[in-house]
Amino acid sequence: MSKKFVPPTVAEVFSYCQQRKNGIDAEAFVAFYASKGWKVGNQPMKDWKQAVITWERRNAANIKPVKETSYKLDVFNLISVGGQPHR
């Protein structure tokens, strides 16, 4: 017999994310799954800690390193006067 799923509190998710040093927003995680009735797709969630790990992997895949040249370009574009680049 499987244990009944009990949704975690924000504090529990926060503590787990701190232990894993993953930078996941615990409030966003809880709000997201609470809004979906703690379901993954059409199935009830079984293990919220595994869902946190999935978020870690998704976030790691979405992080792209910033190239030095694009950073300089962004800074250049931020320093402008009247919509014209400052020279």
**Per-residue model confidence (pLDDT) at position 33:** 97
Per-residue pLDDT reduced to its tens digit, 36-72: 999 999 999 999 999 999 999 998 888 766 555 544 5
Are 29 and 13 in contact, with CB atoms under 8 Å apart?
yes
Copy the structure tokens of residue 26.
Answer: 């615990």
**Per-residue model confidence (pLDDT) at position 63:** 74
The reported pTM is 0.69
